Each structure stands twice: as structure tokens, then as C-alpha cells.
Amino acid sequence: MQRRAAEQLKERLTAMLGEAGFALAKDAVATYVGPRRLTAVVADLPMAQPDRTIERKGPKVGSPQGAIDGFLKGSGLASLDLAEQRDTGKGVFYFAVQKQPGRQTAAVIAEIVPALIKAFEWPKSMRWATWSQRWVRPLHAVLCVFAGETVPGRIDLGGGAMGFTNETVGHRFLAPAPFAVTSFEEYADKLDKAFVMVDQAERRAYIARIAGQRAGENGLQLKPDEGLLDEVTGLVEWPVPLIGKIDDEFMSVPPEVLTTSMRTHQKYFACLRLDDTLAPRFVVISNMENEDGGRQVVSGNERVLRARLSDARFFWDQDRKKRLADRVGALASILFYQRLGTMADKAIRISRLAARLAAKIPGCDAKEAERAGLLAKADLTTDMVGEFPELQGVMGRYYARHDGEPEAIAEAVAEHYAPKGPDDRCPTAPASVSVALADKIDTLVGFFAIDEKPTGSKDPFALRRAALGVIRLIIENKLRLGLIEEFGFAYALNPASNNTKADDVVRALLDFFADRLKVHLRDQGLKHDIVAAVFAVPGGEDDLVRLIARGEALKGFVASDDGANLLTAYRRAANILRIEEKKDGKRYDRLADPKRFAMSEEAQLHQAIMDVGTKADPLLADEDFSGAMGALARLRQPVDDFFDRVTVNAEEAELRANRLCLLSQIRVGMDAIADFSKIEG
């Protein structure tokens, strides 16, 4: 909320000043935010608005008197003689032109600031005291200074008003006395002396640097955690990093449990040894300077952490008393989603689908994949995951290892949620890949089967992320997988399956994947129209590895002179066919009859089309898409000759029809390699 508030303040203040006529430099408005104050400073504002000329277009000269009177009243002109007449090209119109002198900047600011505060949007807000105005926290003061003076303004809070001031206060405990300021420079300087770092970027960098120093003083390094660093930066005004100790008795608990407990509940940074193993130390960011150098603060935080970790160790010890496999039955008490069964049902579907996918994943053992799929969700019933939901999968790995499950199964349980986003690591171990694919495909097929698809910006079940995960798992592991077949198998396992809907669900999923793939491949330089063209080949292209290879070849082909000219000819042929088929009310998709050719260019084009099919088909079968595109390029000259010398719409009906059929063969022949109608530009 702090980051968005700073962005919103900058955007709206810039827009409001611009609307008021102030020409601001690109970065004239800077914003700063912390737990207790939100600040904006505007550079180089003039003392007054520039004078402005306001024009209002009136009625056409010669319009009825009623229209004239309305124009004069609305524009404030005393008579029509004061209006200008201009020829707009659509007639002569009246214009009211008035010069408006600029107002004093302070007066403009006094109007902008209350409007800005009232229009602020917060995800959460509150009312306080007797005022009806809502804000994220109770407003204590509105400091507003321009040119060294307090702006004479106030904000109505609904039930009372708060006047602008030139005073602020420092740190809540270390320097609570108010003080006056006349400029932003003085504001920042006095706050720094009053134990407040105004600049959040400076605060963040300081925390990272000094926390790293504290760890380094103990021969350790700070565990990287950008999210926690952002959060802590927003919690403190005067950061004081201190280092504390974790009792040795807790170091037998999995390190992920320790770091999650420290991060989630206490906002502590974990420390690592130089070999990247977890060290029994943590860094806490205090918001206070203490006379004892922080010893009491550290002691108190160690005591709180001890209690937290005692709970975690208890969960760890209790959970291991029951085998992970024995927990699968308890998943029946957890609903996955209405109409999609329980988590136990999902575990069975994942195991069956993972076993099937194992045949398509080099080095994957079907029995291991099936077992891992069955155990993947079992840790949801543990006390540890109940306390720390973010550890699901991770704890399953530890419990599987404890039970003596093979390492491949334990890793698959841990990694089956991955990748969770575009920056998350993608699993590569065969069993992990099979279970991760199975989990995501089951989720996608299930929600599409009950028509719970993403709409617009809404995606409550993270189906776009799941689809991107499937795409990455397939592409990065170079899996030869037919999506249509796997979607169909997953659909048959689904409790919401209906044979009459199977094709519709699979088709909808393919379209959905095509959209996701366009986004994913855009960064690799493969444009969305190229992806659409190869997705739409006859029979459907659902092998993503093959699709990308075909797309890369098509991209190179259409960028060549032969490809660009052939694409133009394809469009010309398609346009002629579309027009003539609509006019005649029938399709010309049969083969042309060579006996009806009247010109050599017809025969040459027909032979070239036949030759392309003969040469391209085995190349396509061998997935030599560049070779197939090269064969297609040989059509360019005969197609050019045909359009240069042959009149398609001949007067003789049978000759015309045969030539239209020949055009249709161009379209069909090229579409066997890619749907060229999808290519833009």
C-alpha cells in the first residue's frame, strides 16, 4: 500500500498541476513514504499560474437567436460584437476568446491538496474520531509549504476541518516534539536529526548494508530476501539492525521452517554460513536507538523467537509420528473445489496422470511418478503446513525422506507446485516434472470442465499461471507431448466429465494455451501472429516443442523476400476466393483439372504446387521445417507468373471455376505448413 500510495500521489498531483496550467519537468514531482508519513515535493513551481486564453466555440453565423443567446450567456460575453468569427472549413462560427490571468500558486495548491486527499484510493481505510472522512490511518496533520510560507488552506474531514501547517514531528519516541520547516530540504534535514529517514530508497539501502555488516561481523552472510527487505523498509523510520541468536536445540528443525517462522511472524532476516547452510543467528531491524546498544531489544526478540520455534519443533516432532502415506486418506476431509471432489480425489487423479505422462518423459519411472503423485498433497493434513501454508510441498519432502521414500519421490513431492511464476525455477528431475505437469493439467481441465475460466483480469484459480507452468515444463525439458491427448485423458478422470463436452473443453484449453504461449514467446522474439499461424495448421499443432521449431522457421521465411512476396500472393488468392465464393454461393476447394488449363502459367503453377507437396511432406514428417519453408519458396515464381499473365475471372464459366480451384490449391498447399491467413503486416 505504501508503494502504491507514493505512485498514486505522484501521478495525481502531476495531473492536477498540469490541469491547472503548470508546465512541469518530467520528474518535477518526487514522493517519499514511510509508516507514518506520505510526502510529495514539487520542483520549480512558479509563483503564479501562467495567463491562459480560453476559447469556446459557439453556433454558426446566422443561427437562430435562441442559440446565440445561449452562447452569450454560457461564455459570459456581454454582446455578440465581442465574439470572433472564424471559418472552420465547415462554415463560419462564433468563438468566445477570453484571457484569464493566472492565479497565485499558493491559492491553486490550497484547492488541489484537499481534492487530492479526498480522491485517494486505499485497499483498506478507516474512520476515526467524529470525522466521516476515510483514510488508511488517522490523519494527524497536513504539512503544506510553498515558497517558504504555509499555504493558507484546510481540508474538510466531515464533522470538522484540519488546517494546513508548516510543522511536523520526528520519531514517535525519540523526537516527538513538533518543529517548523520552510522547505523540503529543511524538512528532510530536520527529520534526519529527529531520527526519521524520509527517503524509502535510502532506508532500504541502509538496512541491506548494515544488516549485512552485522552478519559479516559474525563471519556470516545475510540470506537474500527482497520481499522482506521491502516490508521492513515500510515498517521502520529509523532502522537499527541488531543480531540475535537462535538456540541450538532448534537447529535440528528443517531450515525452511526456521526461516519461514522468523520471516512470517517476526520479520527477521536469516543468516547463512559461507557454505549457504542456515546459521543460528538472525538480524532484527529495530525502530529505536537504545542506551544499552540494543541488548535488551535483542534479548526480548530472542525470547519471543524461542516461543515461536518451540511450537514449530513440536509440530515437526508430532507430524513425523505418522507416515505421509497414511495421511492420504485424511485428504478426503479437504474439499478441492465443489464439483471437482476432495483433495483425496485430486491425489488419485494426479497419480494416474503422472504415471501416464512418465512414458513421455525420458528417464521417468512410472511407478515412482504414480507414488509421488499420490503423496504430493498429503502434507496438507500436517500441523506444520496448517501453521505455515507456504511450506506445503517442502514439508512433504522432509516427511517422505523420514519415511524412507526414494529421493526422487521426495523431490517430486516438494517440486510439484513449481514453477509458480515466470521467475521460479522449473523442475528438471523426471518424476518431479511428471507430477508437476499432472497437478497443473488436472487443475486446468477441471476448472474448464465446470466452466470456471479466467475472464478479463479476473483469474481467481490462477489458471493462467498454471498454463504458463505447463508451457515452461514442456519447453524447458523439451518434452514431446501432445496436449490434445493429455487433456482428453485428464478430462476422462474428472468427476465433472461429460462425453458430449470433451471436445469443447479440449478446444477451449488449446485456445487458452495459444494465448498464454503468445505471451511467453513474445520475449523470445516470436510474435503472436506467427504462434497463431502454426497453432492453426490442419489437425491442430499441440506439440509445443515442434510448434516452436515450426514457428522459428516460419518467422525466418516470412522475413525473406520470397516469403514476403509469397505471403502477398497468398492474400491475393485468398481475397479473390473469398469474394467469388461469396458471390457464387459455393466453395472452390476441389482440385483443378489440368485438362482445362488454357495457358502454360496455369500448368506450371499446378505442377509447382504438386512438387511442393511432394517435397514438403517428408520434410514436415522429419520436422525439418526450414527445409519445408525452402520448398514452399519455390512457389514464388510460378505464382507471380500466374497473377501477371492469367485472368482468373475469365468469361468462360468452366475456365473461371477451374482457375479458382487452382487458387484454392495455393491456399491449401501453403496452409499445410502454417495458416498464413493469421500472419499480420
pLDDT reading at 681 higher than 80: no
pLDDT at 179 over 80: yes
Give 299-350 pLDDT, tens digit per residue: 999 999 999 999 999 999 999 999 999 999 999 999 999 999 999 999 999 9
Angle at 318 between CA 314 and CA 324, to 5 degrees: 135
Count of C-beta atoms within a 10 Å radius of residue 121 = 9
Please say if the pLDDT value at position 51 is more than 90.
no
pLDDT at 521: 85
Distance in angstroms (rounded) separating the CA atoms of residues 440 and 620:
31
Output the pLDDT for position 99: 85
Largest CA-CA distance found in the chain, in angstroms, rounded: 105
- Above 80 in pLDDT, residue 467? yes
pLDDT for 454 equals 93
Give the pLDDT band (50/70/90) at residue 162. very high
Neighbours of 581 (CB within 10 A): 15
Q: How far apart are CA 581 and CA 601, in angstroms?
A: 23
Cis peptide before 419 (omega within 30 of 0): yes
The C-alpha cell at 132 is 466521516
> Predicted confidence band at 613 (pLDDT cuts at 50, 70, 90)?
confident
At 494, which amino acid appears? N
Split at pLDDT 50, 70, 90, the class of 535 is confident
The rounded mean pLDDT for the chain is: 93
Q: Which residues contact 160 (CB under 8 A, 6 or more apart)?
A: 129, 130, 131
Q: How far apart are CA 151 and CA 113, in angstroms?
A: 10
Tell me the H-state helices in 194-294.
200-217, 226-233, 255-261
- Residues 13-23 have pLDDT tens digits of 999 999 998 98
Domains of the chain in start order, with CATH, are 2-47+105-193 (no CATH), 52-100 (no CATH), 200-319 (no CATH), 336-524 (1.10.3210), 555-678 (1.10.730.10)
Decide if 469 contacts 384 (C-beta within 8 A).
no
pLDDT in tens, 233-288: 999 999 999 999 999 999 999 999 999 999 998 999 999 999 999 999 999 999 99
